[in-house]
Amino acid sequence: MGIKEAAIFLDNQWNTYYAGQTVNGRIEYVFDSPKKVRGIHVKFKGEAHTEWSESKQEEDSDGKTQSTDTLHTGNEEYFQISYYLLGSNTGNEIEIPAGKQVYNFTCALPPVLPSSFEGEHGFVRYTVKVTLDRPWKFDQETKMAFTVINALDLNLNTSYREPIHFQMEKTFCCFCCASPPLSVDVRAPVSGYCPGQVIPLTIDIENKSNVQLHLIKVFLRKVVTYRATSPTTATKKSKDIVLTIQEGPAPAGCTKHINLNMEVPPIPPSNLVNCSIIDLDYDLKVECVVSGMHFNLKDKKYITIGTVPLVGVGATPSAPIMPDTPNQPAVLPVSPGEPAQPGPGSGGEVGPGGWVVPGTAPAQPPYQSLYPTLTSPVYRESPYGRNIQDRSESQHMAITGPAKFAPYYPTYAVQPPPLPQ
């Protein structure tokens, strides 16, 4: 006999916040009988963790090969805020009556945080855990992860408006005679994009050679460098393909003009600013697959994934207004047509600069006036998630939400960015 239900709810329909905002929420319990506790404790935590194993083959004194595994780990904590919603760790027992009980909580996020990230060998993660502190018995825990975004406005760096240009050329030798060249020219209008946008690619092929170009492949890749500090300093780099498009063939002696579009999925912004154990970059890789025993043509260029897309051309607009202090109400812009239900502590307030407190009806966010052509983002789930339960936590802990947590990122209408001047 005890808890029938336990779940955490946040005041934001996407469970997504920007650094410096306030997270408001509640824990809802349903007890089938009165329950004695010392208190109810809530803990907010922001951290990064890296982890991977490496095997090494060594010969022992008898000449036998032995395999040793080394676990490399790295940890970084950004904040930890905890307090009791009811009772204390030193007080007398409190009896909670049977039925549904609701307890509200709040946490002001620090103004400087890296964006949420879930990867194969590490993560940047933000969680809230509520614990029923029970003397002489196992504590009962409920945990939930939420997304934090460090805004990356592409309009604040002129380099993101620079176009991307690949120029590849190759001659093929046959019996000591060089053929005329195969030339491939690939262009994208700018080098900064946001999830939901389309990267428009123009490809010009001039194949004067006697070798067929079977396929031209374009990859959007996530390039991650993980760092460990224990037992020694170590790094691990991964290059994961996020998206692939291809076109072909281009027979010998032909000329072709091709237009291709790549829609950027909901992925975390570049750089992971303020995280020192995970570096995140993106690149475009182009590979031209040719016939015979010849080597393929390959090249790559870095691109930047942001959270506010490039708008217009010419002068760089100002940054969106953000809260002045971390004690201001939460200020996530609300997507049009998706009003949320009011959550604890929302009350319909409007934050500094006109930002809407999550859980209230939509209102015009400040960048709408700064960037009049920009639509409000819709928050969509990343395609990659991980289990949020730590090794040290009870296997009986209740997880609110999916078993594997995947962050939500702002996405924009499927449209190409503005062409540079």
Question: Who contacts 64 (Cβ-Cβ below 8 Å, separation ≥6)?
Answer: none
- The pLDDT of residue 121 is 96
Domains of the chain: 3-152+379-410 (2.60.40.640), 154-305 (2.60.40.640)
Q: What is the reported pLDDT for 32? A: 92
pLDDT of residue 174: 62
Band the pLDDT of 312: cuts 50, 70, 90: confident
The percentage of residues in the chain with a pLDDT greater than 90, rounded to a whole number, is 57
User: Average pLDDT, stretch 172-192?
Assistant: 83
* pLDDT more than 70, % of the chain: 82
pLDDT of residue 371: 76
pLDDT of residue 284 exceeding 90: yes
Average pLDDT over residues 28-46: 94
- pLDDT of 208 above 50: yes
DSSP 19: T
**88/74: higher pLDDT:** 74
Residue-level pLDDT at 419: 59
- 314 versus 55: the higher-pLDDT residue is 55
125-176 pLDDT, tens digit per residue, is: 999 999 998 877 788 899 999 999 998 999 989 999 999 999 999 888 765 5
Average model confidence (pLDDT) across the chain:
82
What is the structure's pLDDT at 360?
Answer: 39
Indicate whether this model's pTM tops 0.95: no
pLDDT of residue 272 exceeding 80: yes
DSSP, residue by residue, 286-335: EEEEESTTPPPEEEEEEEEE-SB---SSSSPPPPPP--SSTTSPP-PPPP
- C-alpha distances (whole Å) from 188 to each of 270, 271, 300, 316 are 18, 21, 13, 20
Strands 22-31 and 65-87: unpaired
Determine how many CB atoms are found less than 10 A away from the CB of residue 339: 13
Mean pLDDT throughout 201-224? 93
Summarised one tens digit per residue, pLDDT across range 321-369 is: 333 333 333 333 333 233 333 333 333 343 332 333 344 333 344 455 6
Tell me which of 91 and 389 has the higher pLDDT: 389
Cα-based torsion angle of the residue sequence 153, 25, 352, 109 in order, rounded to the nearest 10 degrees: -60
